[in-house]
Amino acid sequence: MDILNMLGLGQNQTAQLGQQLGVAPDQMNSALEAAVPLLISQMGHNAQDPQGAASLSQALDQHDGSAIDNLQQGNLPNLDDGQAITRHVFGGNQNSAVNAVSQRAGISPQLAIQIISMAAPLVLGYLSRNRGAGGGGMGGNLGGLGSILGSVLGGGAAGGLGSILGSVLGGGSQPQQPQYQQPQQSSGGLGDLGGMLGSIFGGGQQNSQPQSNQMGGGVGLEPVGQQSQQSGNPLEDLIGMFGGNRR
C-alpha cells in the first residue's frame, strides 16, 4: 500500500510541492516518506487514550478531505492549518519530529516543518473521508478508523510501533531545535476508542500514556507521552511499516 498515493501525493504532486519550497524531488519524497508515517502513527497513539480519541474525532470533523482534491487541482494545503495540526499532534515532541524529517531528507528544519505542515491536512482529510469504512464495530465518532489505521500500518506488523515511535520522538538522540517547542495546555474531552486503536498500535502495551496535555485551539489532538526504548534505526523501521523505502 503506497501511503503517499493514498493521500494524493503522486509523483506530480510531490514535484509540485518540492518546486514551491525549492526542494529537490528526491529530498521531497524522502521527507514525505518520513513525515506521513510520523503523523499517522502519532495520531494513532494519541487516540489510544479516550481523551485523545475524542480530540482526534473533533479534528476529523473539521477536515473533509477537500485538501486532497485541492492538491490534485494544483492548490497547496493550507500551511497555517497544517502548522496548527502539527503542533497539536506532536506537542512537546515536535522538535524531534522536525529533526527526524530534516536529517533523513538532508534539508533544514525550517523546510522540514513546512513539509510536515503540508502533509498534515492531507492525513486528516484521508482519515476523515474513510473513518466510516471498515465496519469498526464501535459506536464512537471515529467509526472504522481503527481498521483504516490498521491497514495502513500492515496489521500485525504494527506491534512494535510504540517503541519505534518512542525511539524516534522520545529517545533523545536528535538535537533539539528550540524554535519548534510549543507550550502545552490542558483541556478536557471524552471518548471510548482507546481499546480499538490500542489493539492496532502495540496491543495496548504502551510504556506511557498522554497526561492530559492536550493543546488548546482549533484542532484538538493530544500529544503522546515519550518513550525511551532504542532499536536500530527506528525512523527507517517506521517508514518500512508504511511501505516506504528504508535506507
Residue ranges of the domains in the chain?
A: 3-241
Measured torsion, CA atoms of residues 119, 205, 224, 171, in degrees rounded to the nearest 10: -90
State CA 42 to chain mean position distance: 5
Per-residue model confidence as pLDDT tens digits over 27-78: 999 999 889 989 988 888 888 788 888 888 888 888 988 899 998 888 889 9
CA angle 86, 153, 219 (to 5 degrees): 25
Distance CA 111, CA 121 (A): 17
Output DSSP code: residue 207.
Answer: S
How confident is residue 245, by pLDDT bands cut at 50, 70 and 90?
low
Hey, how many other C-beta atoms are within 10 angstroms of the C-beta on 41?
26
Cell of 201: 498500535
What pLDDT score was predicted for residue 151?
Answer: 54
Residue type for position 201: F
Over residues 243-247, the mean pLDDT reads: 58
Per-residue model confidence as pLDDT tens digits over 87-125: 999 988 899 899 999 999 999 999 999 999 999 999 999
Report the predicted TM-score, pTM, of the whole model to 2 decimal places.
0.66
Which of 8, 87, 80 shows the shortest CA–CA distance to 55?
87
What pLDDT score was predicted for residue 123?
Answer: 92
Residue type for position 49: D
Per-residue model confidence as pLDDT tens digits over 126-177: 888 887 654 443 334 454 555 555 555 444 334 455 555 566 665 433 333 3
